[in-house]
Structure 1
């Protein structure tokens, strides 16, 4: 089972932006597509996230907070 943190890392690695105001469906779809591109391994996306955190620390926290909130909402709705 993939954790919320892992899902957020996968979302972080997609092209979606907070300003896109994506629907829960669009968020889940983007996560699925990116996870497939990473061979189903969330750790591959985590490596990208770590690189971005090092390269752009000024935007990392804001984007990760958005990703955590976005997947929490998108997957809570899917489970309901």
Structure 2
């Protein structure tokens, strides 16, 4: 497996959201209630917030070499 880190592109937003949601739920399972996680994720990773981060800061994406969301499961384990 090879990695390429690059700046996040607008078309990466949905994949970034999916990755963050899956990783947050796995990481904080049993620690943070689901409703609290969902509320935070809805706000922090809303498309408008992601676009703001993407354009106003250096937001890197590890998704460059993945073609399918299922390929990210290795990254999440």
Structure with more strand by fraction: 2
Structure with more helix by fraction: 1
Normalised to the residue count of structure 1, the TM-score between the two structures is 0.31
Normalised to the residue count of structure 2, the TM-score between the two structures is 0.32
